[in-house]
Structure 1
Amino acid sequence: MSTTITAIQLEELRSGDRLRYHGVDWNIEEYSTYQDPQGYLTDEWLLNSPGGSQYYLLREFDPNNQSISVTWYLAHPLQNARLALPNSQENIVPRLWQDMQSQAEPYPELQLFYKSYYFESQTEGNYETEGDTQSRITWDYWDQEHQMNLAIEAFSHGQLNIYSTKIVKPEEFSHIQKTIEKNHINIIGYASKIFQTLVALILLFLGLTLMIFG
């Protein structure tokens, strides 16, 4: 039961909310969605930590996966990543966007940090964030153990994103705090400080009165 509640709470996260993962508090900076014509859907939350780390929390709905229709992922953006074909040292990242946009056949195997990932699926659909809609093509690769995912995204305007992704469970997250709740707590704290100040002033006034007229 708790897992269901936690999953629902995660689904309701929006910009300005907060949650905790493995002892670190993360702020929700952005919420976006992605959907293709076949019904494949992802909800995506951009997480920022106070230390400057950045991850994406993903909720994937795959209508073709009969056993597990919804899967949660945590994706880490890879900066200046180098991807190579087997038995090659050439970095193919500079040509990946063009390959994907031209509907080229995905590479069967790619290597990242000398680890092999194998092509599994391709999706193409609309990516929407804060009123802005773009076309996006995604190639998904998995390692041999199917524990780590390599996701490559090509947007229509020329942007290419590469992520290292792992599967997570909703119950791994805690301390979910909505923006409204945070504002309510801040208001209560502010009111409490005002009350304490008033009490202190009243006591000070009474003390001075007793000193003068006592």
Structure 2
Amino acid sequence: MIFPVTYFSDNSLTGPLNWIYSPPGDMNLMLYYASFRVGKTLPSVEPGQPHELYYIGPTFYGNTTNIVAVYFEPPKCFRVLDPEVEENNRLLPPALRDVAKYTNQNVILFEKAYQLPNQFYGSEPEKDWCYYFSQAELARQKKDWGEVVRIADLAFALGDTPNDPVERFAYIEGYSHVNNWEKAVELSQASYRVSKNYVGPMLCALWSRIERETERSTEQSAVINQVRGEFNCSP
């Protein structure tokens, strides 16, 4: 019988993380809680800092250039932080917010799908809002916008709603890239209503990237001007 983990630490999760993602005998990954480790075990998160830690057998050798910051606070979905959008995300714990801008999504590997050990983790859970969000976020990182939109349609068909306004952001970006500006604006407005002061600056950062990475057109310019005005974005 498999029971859910109730009490855990970053140390206790580092082992399983490497069982799944590192070759046997290697330790290529280290999980740190930002609130406990930054400035102590990990002296600095500034890029380019080598880091070494003996871990009861193998030794971890890493570099702060390869940090991937993640956030998980149920019922919110597990997610990789977006450095361009979330540097000033005041919905994050302060210690994690300070690390967000250094996360390097370029080290995420897409080529191989890893299998969780069934004897420890059991079967795949039901495909709920967070399942689809994680798949959409992965497609966003690949810039596979058609896949993002395909997943969005499945996710919203559930009739569920996100527990964090940022969980709409991948879909906002996806709909923008396929020129469904109306849906992108609609989802942006829904996120903005959660907290204008907290979510507004993140939406401005997101739409700045959308403006930069989507094809220029009369419709694109009109939508950009609209969201800048609605969300009080700087020119």
Structures share a fold, TM > 0.5?
Answer: no
TM-score where L is the length of structure 2: 0.22
Q: Greater strand share, 1 or 2?
A: 1
Higher relative contact order (CA 8 A, sep 6+): 1
Q: Which structure shows the higher helix fraction?
A: 2
Structure of higher CA gyration radius = 1
Length-normalised TM-score, structure 1: 0.23
